[in-house]
Structure 1
């Protein structure tokens, strides 16, 4: 897992470069067919990538997004009308059956289809009209890391190729080009993160809080903590946390905040103050001095990251947090108990 975390900058660079032609072809088809809706199907880590995809499409392109519920198709046999949509299926293995079925049925209904996968010979690659390949190389660890960030890169490249209707989309291609280097900069925080996590080696549960674009980062960080450290970790939007779950926060409760600069930062400061009033343990990943001053364990990001691409950078720290906790708790992060690399569900 740690080796694959460190392989991410180059894997993301390859994914951006190698899919450039495929992105141009699909963007031309999206314009030709006047796509008015995007649907995205994924499970687990792929579903967390889909959450970011929703924010990117809706903010930058103005196209609404529906995240597919697998059981609608596979359990209930329903056929949502998606004939004017771009249907995206995400599966690093290309073998997630409900994702493959979603793409097959969407194509039968007349949707434009895209598969995002690390396996060019997979069922998903065969089912979709267009395919973006994740040039991540073999991923041996059960916990997905580099296939997640390569999936994000694929989604970013697609959105960057479509007309932007929001300032966050300005200069997105250039910002993406800089991301592998900034991911490498985040990797340099590994020793600091490992030291910070020593305080939480006996933690049994926690919440991971973010908002906006980095909600996916909170979800994925929590998933990695659960997978590799056997911690009951829950990801929350800062707004959703305030609508009830914060009542469960007690003195000493562990709360991880993912807080890069941007539009949602003022709200995260309010959340941090509310957690402070409840005497929570706050582990804060940020470059914001005010938030870091409120933290029990500040993890200061020593460089600036553009808000729009911050999920690609900040998740690297989330992965390092999960990996450090797993080792401190004497677990093997590469082989979580009871899990396999390819999970088969419908």
Structure 2
């Protein structure tokens, strides 16, 4: 199979992945944390690098809304080197901190380092990984397994979705034990998440053809801005990451509000396309309406990925099936991956540049796995 076909196979597999794995991950989560431990949680940090960080970003708003706790997504470097970098805290006080460390491989050095460091400072550590025998598996006190059936080789897609499923499962379990949500409501949301399988399948049918056509039009561009707000900022980060990894396009993720402060001023706007993830139910929806007009005024080539019933007519617009804003990043995975796959195919670029030439040091993820741990 070609690398494009491999990527498409991964995308095609996402609906079945959600249908079969969401409940299994929930079942594992129910057994991990004891009720007194959950009662003691006062703050939650979800940390990761790359796709794992975007997964943390995607689920943090939902967990915050469900639990009422301070919940933040944090880059692994910040968690490893900059949390509590001043006066050493008392370990007993930190026991109220739940640290959720996400790494599918379990070998990302900064994630391992952050987990070890925060555990020593007294935090309760929960690793989310497909590799329980990894360094992360040995560093965290508890492990939520996201081991999923293997698929074709392509830039991370299935692992990203599995990581989000784990994050939602953690949030729902905390909420029902803390009684900020009834068990009936939590179970209804679990059913809703499993039912998103159909939404992903529909999004796949909607996205594939138009994005191939768009990639044909955009193949001369070498940079792009990818925009979103709230949970969709994670979609922007993931979408930008796949464009870099798959097609070598210099893609930058940006908040839709911050775009008006910063990226708005890019030179040659007609040569720098924009992809905007814009859930119709989003709290930022009114700003998205203004954003479309802004893009038109600049003449920026645009792809608007939305489930809104109606937006100003500009650019290419993909109308995805409607979902709650909390869950939009799951569905956004489909068009984001399609765009990366199609763009790489159109310009004939090898994923990850084949880990050859100046990129050879990334072979086997050596640059992220072999960095020295400082705990």
- Provide TM-score, normalisation by structure 1: 0.89
The 8 Å contact of residues 141 and 335 in structure 1, kept in 2 or not, is answered as: no
Q: Over aligned residue pairs, what C-alpha RMSD do you find?
A: 2.6
Displacement of 1:4 in angstroms is 1.8
- Is 1:248 matched with 2:266? yes
Question: Per-residue deviation at 1:89?
Answer: 0.8
Alpha-carbon deviations, 1:165-197, whole Å to 9, x = none? 599x87422211211221122121312221222
Match of 1:237 in 2: 255
1:50 aligned to 56, 68, 71, which one? 56
In the other structure, the counterpart of 1:298 is 317
Deviations, residues 109-156 of structure 1 (Å, cap 9, x unaligned): 222111111112211122222211113333553511100011001101
2:28 paired with 1:8: no
CA contact (8 A) 2:225 2:274 kept: yes
- How many Å apart are 1:40 and its aligned residue? 2.0
Cross-structure match for 1:268: 288
> SS state of the match for residue 162, structure 1?
helix
Q: Which residue of 1 aligns with 2:199?
A: 182
**Once the 2 structures are TM-superposed, how far is the Cα of residue 204 of structure 1 from its aligned partner?**
0.7
Q: What residue in structure 1 maps to residue 306 of structure 2?
A: 286
Query: Match of 1:217?
Result: 235
Q: Secondary structure at the match of 1:95?
A: coil
Counting matched residue pairs gives 343
Would the aligned equivalents of 1:100 and 1:123 in 2 still touch at CA under 8 Å? yes
Structure 1's unaligned 5+ residue stretches are none
Q: Give unmatched runs, 5+ long, in structure 2.
A: 1-6
Residue pair 2:47, 2:79 contacting (<8 A) in 1 also: no
Q: 1:289 to 1:71 in 2, by over 3 A?
A: closer
Correspondence 1:1-346 to 2 at 5 A:
1-26=7-32, 28-29=34-35, 32-71=38-77, 81=89, 82-138=94-150, 141=153, 143-163=155-175, 171-188=188-205, 189-248=207-266, 250-252=268-270, 253-262=272-281, 263-291=283-311, 293-301=312-320, 303-333=321-351, 336-337=354-355, 338=359, 339-342=362-365, 343-344=368-369, 345=371
Q: Given the superposition, is the C-alpha separation of residues 27 and 265 from structure 1 closer, same or farther in structure 2, using an over 3 Å criterion?
A: farther
Q: State the Cα distance separating 1:287 from its structure 2 match.
A: 3.1
TM-score norm. by structure 2 comes to 0.83
Distance 1:146 1:335 in 2: 21
